[in-house]
Amino acid sequence: MALVPCQVLRVAILLSYCSILCNYKAIEMPSHQTYGGSWKFLTFIDLVIQAVFFGICVLTDLSSLLTRGSGNQEQERQLKKLISLRDWMLAVLAFPVGVFVVAVFWIIYAYDREMIYPKLLDNFIPGWLNHGMHTTVLPFILIEMRTSHHAYPSRSSGLAAICTFSVGYILWVCWVHHVTGMWVYPFLEHIGPGARILFFGSTTILMNFLYLLGEVLNSYIWDTQRTAKLK
């Protein structure tokens, strides 16, 4: 028996994301006032994705509680649609985008923080908020994957969806540069056009790899649990 019910964990995680988003939006940074606002940063987009995902998880738990034993077929159909949406969001957005943000941020930060998160930002963003945006995303999504089974979509449709998201964000970053003359991330200013193309291509490939990693991890966790139960 779990020490803390997974439903309670989801509510706690959702509230933490709401707190992080509110605190982040309350910060008066120059970059928030420029074209695209917070929406040009993948970190912010990821926070919104995670908050929406865990909101759907909480809504699914409430719907499951209300429809349990009711015998209402229409309510059960709506619940199945909600579960399908929850599973699709984890597979295509919450897991790959969340892991990508954590991994890429800390790798670049360790190499040269000025390339991704200049020291100047310490004057605006407290340390706990930085970790809320770039660290806790990973354990939160792993907790969700561990506590509930998620049915992945077909591999072709899942990869097509994450590719669409990746290319869409890259085009958005390029458009912001076209309008403002400034790249969203400082390190893009210091590399040539060829290196940027290579970087953007690599990030798309990495996103696809993380989608496949999530699919394998999900199968491994739940296949292992089924085997343990059978034994």
DSSP 174: H
120: tokens are 């100047």
DSSP 41: -
Overall residue count recorded for the chain in this entry: 231
**In this structure, how many other beta carbons lie within 10 angstroms of the beta carbon of residue 5?**
12
Rounded-to-integer distance, Cα 180 and Cα 29, Å:
17
Give 12's contacts (C-beta < 8 A, 6+ positions apart): none
pLDDT of residue 1: 40
Rounded-to-integer distance, Cα 2 and Cα 146, Å:
12
Sequence ranges of the domains in the chain: 6-26+41-230
Query: Could you read off the pLDDT of 120-171 as tens digits, one per residue?
Result: 888 889 999 999 999 999 999 999 999 888 999 999 999 999 999 999 999 9
Does the pTM surpass 0.75? The reply is yes
- Tell me the three state secondary structure of residue 68: coil
Give 18's contacts (C-beta < 8 A, 6+ positions apart): 51
**In this structure, how many other beta carbons lie within 10 angstroms of the beta carbon of residue 123?**
8
187 close to 68: Cβ distance less than 8 angstroms: no
Rounded-to-integer distance, Cα 116 and Cα 109, Å:
6
**Among 171, 172, 126, residue whose Cα is nearest residue 29:** 126
53: tokens are 């995902």
Query: Could you read off the pLDDT of 195-214 as tens digits, one per residue?
Result: 999 999 999 999 999 999 99
Query: Could you read off the pLDDT of 54-105 as tens digits, one per residue?
Result: 999 999 999 888 877 666 777 788 889 999 999 999 999 999 999 999 999 9
Half-sphere exposure at residue 129, Cβ-oriented, CA atoms within 13 angstroms: 17
DSSP 40: G
pLDDT of residue 167: 97
Q: Has residue 106 got a pLDDT over 80?
A: yes
pLDDT of residue 30: 80
163 close to 207: Cβ distance less than 8 angstroms: yes
Rounded-to-integer distance, Cα 231 and Cα 143, Å:
24
**Among 170, 117, 167, 149, residue whose Cα is nearest residue 217:** 149
